[in-house]
């Protein structure tokens, strides 16, 4: 037993309140090193009659470690605990004091989750884990009202540049909601819609006004109502890290310098506001002098931005916020933001834009989830970059599952591209068969899938601005096969509880191999997925386990002698099976 590999700490992702009176405990051990882990748990004031030994389940593995978990529901909300770790020959107990071969005699010196306060329970909105998201860049989705087009608008379908306009608007989205409903999406994330000079609107001028080129505040309400009528929820983009240069308080600072009443609204290093040797004398997004960073520690700024967050929920009925550059804004602000948003709409979804490990924001007091770029990278490394073999891919996915509290992982925003990355089909070199495999994993992994507009009909494009092309609405120019695949994929996920919330289990992930198989398990309901990530056929044995397995697409029964399925897969082929009782 390698004691050095064993890790547990109270709170964080190692001990999180997952429901009324219930804490999920986790512990890490060296991979394939120990046979069995259990947790001795009870109430420290009533140890003798409350302490129980509960089994823990290995729920994830990465290259170095196994991760075990167990839900624990102490009788009086107070919890203290110790771990029992067993390998072939020995058993070891882990408490706050370290390792010992002896079972703790009482509750002294155990780990503690002192009290499960109801408001500390991490409870993301229940609807999110069942959702299928669709991301819309409003300037490029559809032009439903030529009368509001910006000056110099270019013909729909032209080449995007950093600064040109094509006239997309909110009416265009309303006009195509039936398309989205038929596709099966249940939530839309809009990049910014508030008044701003640029085509992307990340340089806000007026946070309380829909951009006139997109429509009016009334039009946004109409759009949200029309979405809700179709069972589609709406997420808007909160650009609260920075304003735009034309934002009136910043204009006031430009004009009046440090005498401006808004002087403390921004982080100014040196007055007057200027740019020296390419570096602004005030804090900005990156070094972009038209995006001045807000001083979110200023109470007036807080009041203003929290007012904006509240306004659009109350006025337009939106269902949540995506938070731009969320990790550069202070934690105190985000805690206030959460309190404000949840007080107006308890089931609003708060989604942070963080590209890296985001555990500090995922404790239940700030965000519900983050844009899961580590998932994106893992999928691209396996399918596109091909720097991972099946085992490496499984290890990366396992690590993701262990990174955050379970409640956050279940609602992680799993995307394979966005307005900030090259498009998936372009990354796949135009190979739609390969793209389908990546999307299949996206829709059958833990977390919430999001389609970047147009990916489903084969839109291509490299880095920004290439990835911001106009949506193609001519059926003759859409990839209808791909669209049919996405419809099937969405219906598959929406029809299967196990694919949304089931436990993830790796079935086959061999070193040097490009066949990867896994299962999603929710009680009796089980699905198994295998992908052949290579340009040649493969024969593989998949340990599905005993039972009656049926191919989801052909409805053909599968032979599993001894629980093993022998499968022949086409180049870039895949199978999805489900298990039925009996």
Q: Determine the Cα–Cα distance for residues 192 and 214; give it in Å rounded to an integer.
A: 10
In angstroms, what is the minimal distance from the CB of 175 to Ca ion?
11
Is residue 169 a contact point for Ca ion (CB under 5 A)?
Answer: yes
The two tokens of residue 447 are 């977390």
Of 139, 324, 395, 456, which one is the catalytic site residue?
324
Q: Does 420 bind Ca ion (CB under 5 A)?
A: no
* Residue 569 beta carbon to Ca ion: minimum distance, rounded to whole angstroms: 47
Q: How far is the CB of 572 from Ca ion (least distance, A)?
A: 40
Q: In what order do the strands lie in the sheet with 574-580?
A: 503-509, 515-522, 525-532, 574-580, 548-551, 557-558
Contact 203, 163 (CB under 8 A): no
Query: Which residue's CB is nearer to Ca ion, number 271 or number 473?
Result: 473
Which residues lie below 8 Å from residue 274, measured CB to CB, with a gap of 6+? Answer: 280, 281
Contact stretch for Ca ion (CB under 5 A) within 160-168, 327-335, 384-392, 523-531:
160-168
Note if 353 is an active site residue: yes
80 versus 170: smaller Cβ distance to Ca ion: 170
Q: Which stretch binds Ca ion (CB under 5 A): 95-103, 162-170, 264-272, 556-564?
A: 162-170
Q: Could you say which of 24, 353, 395, 455 is catalytic? A: 353
Please state the closest distance from residue 316 (CB atom) to Ca ion, in A.
Answer: 19
Min separation Cβ 148 and Ca ion, Å? 5
Residue 13 near Ca ion by CB under 5 A: no
The yes or no reply on residue 145 touching Ca ion (CB under 5 A) is: yes
* Residue 218: CB minimum distance to Ca ion, A: 16
DSSP 474-506: -GGGS-HHHHHHHHHHHHHHHT-HHHHHSEEEE
Burial of 391 (0-12, 13-18, 19+ CB in 10 A): middle
Instruction: Name the residue nearer to Ca ion (CB basis): 144 or 422.
Output: 144
Instruction: Locate 522 and state its tokens.
Output: 């929710």
Task: Name the token pair of 510.
Answer: 């061999």
Question: For the packed helices 432-444 and 373-383, what is the interaxial angle rounded to 10 degrees?
Answer: 140
Is 148 among the residues that bind Ca ion (CB under 5 A)? yes
For the CB of residue 138, give the shortest distance to Ca ion in the complex, in Å.
10
Q: How far is CA 201 from CA 197, 214, 245, in A?
A: 7, 11, 12
138 binds Ca ion (CB under 5 A): no
How far apart CA 182 and CA 173 sit, in angstroms, is 14
* Tokens matching residue 217: 């505040």
Among 167, 249, 292, 320, binds Ca ion (CB under 5 A): 167
Q: Say which residues have a Cβ less than 8 Å from residue 487's Cβ, sequence separation at least 6.
A: 182, 183, 184
Contact residue for Ca ion among 143, 302, 372, 403 (CB under 5 A): 143
Residue closer to Ca ion by CB (options 66, 145) is 145
User: Any bridge partners for residue 519, and if so which?
Assistant: 505, 528
Active site residue 315: no
Among 149, 154, 175, 381, binds Ca ion (CB under 5 A): 149
Q: For Ca ion, give the closer residue by CB, 169 or 353.
A: 169
Show contacts with Ca ion in window 302-321 (CB under 5 A).
none
Closest CA relative to residue 95, chosen from 49, 44, 21: 44
- Per the structure block, which two tokens stand in for 495? 């029809």
Q: Does 211 bind Ca ion (CB under 5 A)?
A: no
Computed on alpha carbons and rounded to an integer, the radius of gyration of the chain in Å comes to 26
Of 66-74, 141-149, 332-340, 374-382, the segment contacting Ca ion by CB under 5 A is 141-149
Angle of the 480-494 helix axis to the 432-444 helix axis, nearest 10: 10
Binding piece for Ca ion, criterion CB under 5 A, among 135-143, 265-273, 358-366, 497-505: 135-143
Number of residues that bind Ca ion (CB under 5 A): 6
Contact between 320 and 355 (Cβ < 8 Å): no
Stretch of 131-139, 166-174, 342-350, 544-552 lying at the interface with Ca ion (CB under 5 A): 166-174
Residue 199 binding Ca ion, by CB under 5 A: no
Active site residues: 324, 353
Residues making contact with Ca ion (CB under 5 A): 143, 145, 148-149, 167, 169
């Amino acid at each position: 037993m390698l004691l050095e590999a064993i890790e547990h700490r109270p709170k964080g992702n190692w001990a999180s309140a997952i429901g009324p009176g219930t804490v999920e405990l986790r512990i890490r051990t060296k991979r394939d090193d120990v046979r069995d882990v259990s947790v001795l748990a009870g109430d420290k004031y009533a140890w003798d009659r409350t302490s129980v030994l509960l089994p823990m389940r290995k729920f994830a593995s990465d290259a170095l470690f196994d991760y075990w978990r167990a839900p624990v529901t102490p009788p009086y909300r107070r919890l203290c605990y110790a771990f029992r770790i067993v390998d072939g020959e020995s058993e070891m107990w882990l408490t706050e004091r370290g390792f010992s071969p002896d079972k703790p005699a009482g509750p002294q010196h155990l780990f503690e989750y002192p009290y499960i306060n109801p408001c500390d329970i991490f409870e993301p909105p229940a609807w999110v884990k069942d959702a299928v998201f669709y991301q819309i860049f409003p300037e490029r989705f559809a032009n439903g009202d030529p009368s509001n087009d910006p000056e110099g608008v270019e013909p729909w379908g032209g080449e995007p540049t950093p600064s040109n306009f094509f006239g997309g608007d909110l009416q265009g989205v309303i006009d195509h909601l039936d398309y989205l409903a038929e596709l099966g999406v249940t939530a839309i994330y809009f990049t910014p819609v508030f008044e701003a000079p640029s085509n992307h609107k990340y340089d806000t001028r007026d946070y309380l006004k829909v951009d006139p080129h997109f429509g009016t505040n009334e039009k946004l309400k109409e759009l949200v109502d029309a979405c809700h009528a179709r069972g589609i929820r709406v997420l808007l983009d909160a650009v609260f890290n920075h304003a735009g240069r034309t934002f009136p308080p910043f204009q006031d600072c430009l004009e009046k310098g440090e005498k401006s009443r808004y002087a403390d609204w921004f982080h100014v290093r040196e007055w007057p506001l200027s740019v020296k040797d390419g570096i602004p004398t005030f804090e900005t997004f990156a070094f972009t002098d038209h995006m001045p960073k807000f001083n979110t520690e200023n109470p007036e700024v807080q009041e203003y931005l929290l007012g904006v967050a509240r306004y659009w929920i109350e006025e337009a009925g939106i269902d949540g916020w995506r938070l731009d550059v969320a990790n550069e804004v202070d934690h105190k602000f985000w805690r206030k933001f959460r309190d404000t948003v949840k007080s107006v709409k308890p089931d609003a979804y708060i989604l942070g834009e963080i590209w890296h490990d985001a555990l500090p924001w995922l404790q239940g007091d700030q965000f519900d989830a983050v844009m899961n770029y580590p998932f994106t990278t893992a999928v691209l490394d396996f399918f596109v970059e091909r720097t991972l073999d099946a085992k490496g891919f499984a290890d990366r996915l396992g690590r993701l599952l262990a990174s955050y509290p379970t409640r956050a992982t279940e609602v992680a925003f799993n995307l394979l591209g966005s307005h900030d990355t090259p498009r998936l089909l372009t990354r796949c070199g135009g190979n739609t068969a390969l793209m389908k495999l990546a999307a299949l994993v996206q829709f059958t992994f833990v977390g919430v899938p999001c389609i970047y507009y147009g990916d489903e009909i084969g839109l291509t494009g490299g880095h920004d601005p290439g990835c911001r092309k106009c949506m193609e609405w001519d059926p003759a120019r859409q990839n209808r096969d791909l669209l049919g695949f996405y419809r099937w994929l969405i219906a598959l996920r929406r029809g299967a509880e196990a694919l949304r919330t089931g436990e993830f289990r790796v079935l086959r992930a061999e070193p040097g191999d490009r066949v990867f198989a896994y299962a999603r398990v929710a009680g009796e309901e089980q699905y198994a997925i295998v992908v052949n990530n290579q340009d040649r056929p493969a024969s593989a044995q998949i340990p599905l386990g005993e039972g009656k397995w049926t191919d989801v697409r052909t409805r053909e029964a599968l032979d599993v002698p001894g629980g093993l399925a022998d499968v022949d897969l086409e180049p870039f082929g895949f199978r999805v099976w489900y298990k039925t009782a009996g």
